Copies of this chain bind each other. A is one copy, B any other.
Amino acid sequence: MGKIVDMLFELKEYRYVKPFRIAHNVADSSTNLEVTLILENGVEGKGEAAPSYRVNGERIETFMSLRDFILGEIKGLDVRNYRVIFKIMDGLRCAPSVKAAVQYAVLDALSVECGVPVYQLLGGARDHVETDKTVGIGTLEEMVEEARKLWREGFTLIKVKVGEDLREDIRKLEAISDATKGAKYIVDANTGYTVKEAITFAREMHARGIDVVVFEQPLPAEDIDGLKIVRFNSPLPVAADESARTRYDVLRLIKEEAVDFVNIKLMKSGISDALAIVEMATTANIGLMIGCMGESSLGISQSVHFASGTGVFMYCDLDSFLMLEEKEFRGKFRRDVNKLIPT
């Protein structure tokens, strides 16, 4: 029997090695919630919530106070009946990252019960995934230097943050691509552009032959009509991130034909909506990438198992744990440069 008898919540703060700047936002640290589910036979399952106020509207200050409510809802349930627990957690719209952590902790406990790692419970489609690493917004020189460093380290896919100044962004991408010939780029505007700026950016990248494989979230999250215009006028694949949090968001994006790609993050969707988005997007021939918020190695482990298990992600952006100061590595995966291998 795998009945849940207790659940521990613990907050942990991780500082960024250096402040991480994206369009109109800077992060110095990420305070995350660690969830430990305890089953009656003593088995434990762990999950991590890395909240995002900007994307999810959720506040870390509220998380500890949610513990009694959540435990009250799921206590006595068996992790073998995980869809029951998933469904209950779908109600927790005030804290999508907590939903993700609890849902993952359930799978983690089930995995111990079954003697099969989570990535195989989810289908074991791949035995590893490859991640990019991200260059935050800085001066042109800083960004080129950082990109060059990543390229030398072996990151063949580099994510570049833009969205504050169109002309400057084009110059930065030109310089970065000169310095890292052969690399591929995900460019993320984090809602910073207008429709016209986004189209101009995409066309300029294409005209210069810069190998941008995904152009993420050019517009504000709610502007789906605008996103469709960008998609139909961009030679680069356009991805929704902030616009694609729930399964319902993605169904609308599919119906409206508004995107080429969706960036799934467990912190936005939890396991339940992420699985639904996987099925919908693959059916609709929408490309998939997987990203992260400020997860530590514990939280990134969740996405490594999800991505390896489902095997549907063309690109993985699972680098937050590489950007945070963390005393002890606690992921159920190992890293070989850009390879993340679930264990």
Contacts and interface: CB of A to CB of B under 8 A. Distances in A.
Interface of A: 78, 80-84, 86-87, 113-116, 120-125, 247-248, 250-251, 254-255, 275-276, 278-280, 282-284, 309-311
Contact of A84 (B84, B125, B254): B125
Contacts of A309: 83
A214 to B, nearest CB: 23
A154 B278 CA distance: 40
A83 B116 contact: no
Nearest to A121: B121
Nearest to A275: B279
Nearest to A115: B114
A239 to B, nearest CB: 19
A281 to B, nearest CB: 10
Given A280-B283, A283-B276, A83 B114 contact: no
Contacts of A78: 124
Number of copies: 2
B114 A311 contact: no
Nearest to A277: B279
B275 A83 contact: no
Contacts of A254: 251, 255
A67 to B, nearest CB: 24
Contacts of A278: 279
B280 A81 contact: no
Contacts of A87: 125, 311
A276 B282 contact: yes
Given A114-B114, A114-B115, 13 more contacts: A78-B124, A83-B122, A83-B309, A83-B311, A84-B123, A84-B125, A86-B123, A87-B125, A248-B283, A251-B283, A251-B284, A275-B279, A280-B283
Interface centre among A124, A250, A255, A282 (most CB of B within 10 A): A124
A290 to B, nearest CB: 15
B120 A80 contact: yes
A311 B88 CA distance: 13
Contacts of A280: 251, 276, 279-280, 283
B124 A81 contact: yes
